[in-house]
Amino acid sequence: MTDTTAATRPDETGINTRKVFIKTYGCQMNVYDSQRMGDALARDGYEPTEVIEDADLVLLNTCHIRERAAEKIYSELGRIKLLKAEKAERGVEMRVAVAGCVAQAEGQEIIDRAPVVDLVIGPQTYHRLPEALARVARGDKVVETDYAVEDKFRHLPKVTAPQIRTRGVTAFLTVQEGCDKFCTFCVVPYTRGSEVSRPLAQIMGEARALAAAGVREVTLLGQNVNAWSGQDEAGRDIGLGGLLRALAEIPGFARLRYTTSHPRDMDDDLIAAHRDLPALMPYLHLPVQSGSDRILKAMNRRHTGADYLRLLDRIRQARPDIALSGDFIVGFPGETDADFEDTMKLVSEVRYASAFSFKYSARPGTPGATMDDHVDEAVKSERLQRLQALLREHQVDFAESLVGRDIDVLVEKPGRYPHQRVGRSPFLQPVVLDAAAGEIGDIVTVRIESTLPNSLLATGGAVPAAEARHRNAVPAEPIRKIA
Ligand code: SAH
Ligand code: SF4
Ligand code: F3S
């Protein structure tokens, strides 16, 4: 290991050249938060580094959603402890901060269990990071997990054009945080607090900065993004549909997406936005968790399987080529074989283009953890395997249905070889394409030739618009209606 001490201390000119290593776990909201924390630290003189050994500050932005996610943090902290001791022997100081949802859920406990940690900071307080680090520098151990009364976004430095450019032509933009739904398995309402929407003007300001710096595709984020509500310039109440309409007017944005949505918050105007806005991509992540009404009730999802299928019907009427994605939990307390078969049945009806599925993990403090009839690990594993095999089959069928079709691809980055680039389909699949097809940031029409394990291949160059056939059209599988 090389000693980079001299390069990472404030130099004689007073210019601070400290380095921060940020590792992100969990959902896209954490990815966004890590960027914003990085931006706040940049103003404080920290440069990002990818090399943990070079870091003056190690920041873990953590996830508490399942037990395994939370436990990962402690094994990482074990490795960091050794690194910190090694650096200390060479007289180099390294600070360790834990942010995100484990920070919020466990607070002081983290320092008790892993004394290597200097700072614990929750997701609602990270605008206070520089000030908290100043306290750490004075020798304190700091825990900042109060829900702040002030709006953190207003207290964070604005993201600058060079910062945006390093992140490429796609960007995340958090518009809503927190959750009031209290599904009985889920920690999010406890780690992220209640639902808060960022005001329209603040979102539009950030969106315009993204567009001006060359961002072509923006994904709006929220734990329950379709619960976003706000007021338009005339003071009228609007929902996510209205926000998407406003964003679609910004020159430069070619593609809009949003995630994650709750079935109960898909209102008529949002469904209509899928019909009206060509920029709103035909891909929707709409988790259902289970196909059994009994389990959905125990989960406090407050909708039935039939409600969900009816909703999908309405969405598909508005946007027939929409591809669907979902989340599933197997082995929720009390789930019988028959309940699980209901999930398999729902999956077969919907035929998701992609999906995420998990074994139920009891989370401390949630109602699910104290329910009766916890399901055996072996049973959970077997159900998960069967479900994943079915989901995979549908994902492959969906990808194969695109072979021979011409689809629009946003070129995102260089490929593995110089003659290739990687882009994204409207349905969020990576597409490997010929470098000659277009420059990064272009949207080009290409003919899909074949499927790779997790992506699509198109080596034929751009198809001129006049010759494009079946552009983006995907044969929608009709959903059999459940009365
Ligand atoms: N707000 C999103 C979900 C966020 S958590 C929504 O309502 O859909 C992402 C996914 O993790 C959930 O959809 C769920 O499938 C899974 N998940 C959440 N808590 C879990 C738990 N205790 N055990 C297993 N999976 C869980
Ligand atoms: Fe968790 Fe349910 Fe809220 Fe989603 S809607 S974040 S699953 S409590
Ligand atoms: Fe995990 Fe927190 Fe996101 S628990 S999934 S990082 S909201």
Phi/psi at 134 (nearest 5 deg)? Answer: -65, -35
Q: Is 208 exposed, middle or buried (0-12, 13-18, 19+ CB in 10 A)?
A: middle
Predicted confidence band at 460 (pLDDT cuts at 50, 70, 90)?
Answer: confident
Q: Is 45 exposed, middle or buried (0-12, 13-18, 19+ CB in 10 A)?
A: middle
Predicted confidence band at 18 (pLDDT cuts at 50, 70, 90)?
Answer: very high
The residue whose CA is least distant from atom 7 of ligand 1 is 262
pLDDT of residue 474: 55
pLDDT at 121 over 80: yes
Phi/psi at 212 (nearest 5 deg)? Answer: -65, -25
Site to probe by mutation for ligand 1, drawn from 175, 261, 327 as the one with most ligand atoms within 8 Å of Cβ, is 327
Q: How many other CB atoms are found less than 10 A from the CB of residue 417?
A: 9
66 lines ligand 3 (CB under 6 A): no
C-alpha span between 460 and 247 (Å, rounded) = 33
Residue % of the chain over a pLDDT of 90 = 83
Query: Distance, CA 329 to ligand 1 centroid (Å)?
Result: 8
> 164 near 208, Cβ under 8 Å?
no
DSSP 284-327: EE---B-S-HHHHHHTT--S-HHHHHHHHHHHHHH-TT-EEEEE
pLDDT at 154 over 70: yes
Q: What is the mean pLDDT of residues 115-128?
A: 93
pLDDT at 56 over 50: yes
pLDDT of residue 167: 85
Predicted confidence band at 469 (pLDDT cuts at 50, 70, 90)?
Answer: low
Q: Which of 101-110, 126-135, 457-466 is predicted least confidently?
A: 457-466
Query: Distance, CA 381 to ligand 1 centroid (Å)?
Result: 17
Q: Which atom in ligand 3 lies closest to the alpha carbon of residue 25? A: 6
Site to probe by mutation for ligand 1, drawn from 186, 190, 332, 370 as the one with most ligand atoms within 8 Å of Cβ, is 186
pLDDT at 168 over 80: yes
pLDDT of residue 44: 86
Residue 160 or residue 431, greater confidence: 431
The CA R_g of the chain, rounded to the nearest whole Å, is 24
Residue 164 or residue 86, greater confidence: 86
Q: How far is CA 220 from the centre of its chain?
A: 9
The residue whose CA is least distant from atom 2 of ligand 2 is 183
Q: What is the mean pLDDT of residues 328-354?
A: 98
189 lines ligand 2 (CB under 6 A): yes
Residue of 353, 219, 332 whose CA lies nearest to 286: 353
Q: What is the b/e burial string over 67-96, where b = at least 16 CB atoms within 10 angstroms of the residue's CB? A: eebbebbeebbeebeebbeebeeeebebbb
Residue of 225, 414, 432, 398 whose CA lies nearest to 323: 398
**What are the structure tokens assigned to 89, written together?**
């022997």
Question: pLDDT tens-digit profile of 401-410?
Answer: 999 999 999 9
Query: Distance, CA 101 to ligand 3 centroid (Å)?
Result: 6
26 lines ligand 3 (CB under 6 A): yes
pLDDT at 187 over 90: yes
Question: pLDDT tens-digit profile of 139-151?
Answer: 999 999 987 656 7
Distances (CA, A) of 441 to 164, 309, 330, 410, 422: 14, 36, 39, 6, 11
Place of tokens 């290597």: 116
The residue whose CA is least distant from atom 3 of ligand 3 is 27
In the DSSP assignment, the letter for residue 214 is: T
Q: What is the mean pLDDT of residues 362-373?
A: 96
pLDDT of residue 14: 46
64 lines ligand 3 (CB under 6 A): yes
pLDDT at 12 over 60: no
pLDDT of residue 150: 65
> 429 near 406, Cβ under 8 Å?
no
pLDDT at 8 over 60: no
Q: Which ligand is nearest to the CA of 122?
A: 3
pLDDT of residue 471: 56
C-alpha span between 284 and 323 (Å, rounded) = 6
Question: pLDDT tens-digit profile of 197-247?
Answer: 999 999 999 999 999 999 999 999 999 999 999 999 899 999 999 999 999
C-alpha span between 444 and 462 (Å, rounded) = 6
Q: Which atom in ligand 1 lies closest to the alpha carbon of residue 356? A: 15
Site to probe by mutation for ligand 3, drawn from 67, 101, 104 as the one with most ligand atoms within 8 Å of Cβ, is 101
287 lines ligand 1 (CB under 6 A): yes
Residue % of the chain over a pLDDT of 70 = 93
Site to probe by mutation for ligand 3, drawn from 63, 221, 327 as the one with most ligand atoms within 8 Å of Cβ, is 63
